[in-house]
Amino acid sequence: MKHSVLLVDDTETVLMFEKMMLAAQGFDITVAKNGEEALVKVSEHKPDIILLDIQMPKMDGIEACRHLKANPSTRDIPVVMVTTKGQPDKVEASFMAGCNDYLTKPIDKIELLSKVRTLLG
């Protein structure tokens, strides 16, 4: 069975890089450009895991994570926050919002695949 991943980021190059790494491993990919769009996509597609950027317009990743973890139908979907190096306060806020793990940019392919596979079991 193919696992589905929701990639949420407002930067095209990051989305392209994540898509290339995950699609090559056989994952189905859905994309959203901000937290608001991510909540809509989650209700439409119910992904197996979400990679969620922190800094985005309209609704940031931390707020989107709070919404996901507060909703009984989405709270069990693993969320990996994606942050820029050197933002320990954002990482802490992400865990307080309910994220399962985090990645720092620039994203390392081996680290990304390892975290995704671990969280998917």
Domain-by-domain residue ranges, the chain?
Answer: 4-120
What pLDDT was estimated at residue 121?
87
Between residues 50 and 87, which one has the greater pLDDT?
A: 50
Cα–Cα distance between 118 and 82 in angstroms, integer? 16
Cα–Cα distance between 103 and 58 in angstroms, integer? 22
Between residues 91 and 51, which one has the greater pLDDT?
A: 51
What pLDDT was estimated at residue 103?
93
Mean pLDDT for 15-21 is 95
What pLDDT was estimated at residue 86?
67
Domain over 4-120 is classified CATH 3.40.50.2300: yes
SS3 of residue 108 by DSSP: coil
Question: Is 80 exceeded by the pLDDT of residue 33?
Answer: yes
Mean pLDDT for 54-79 is 96
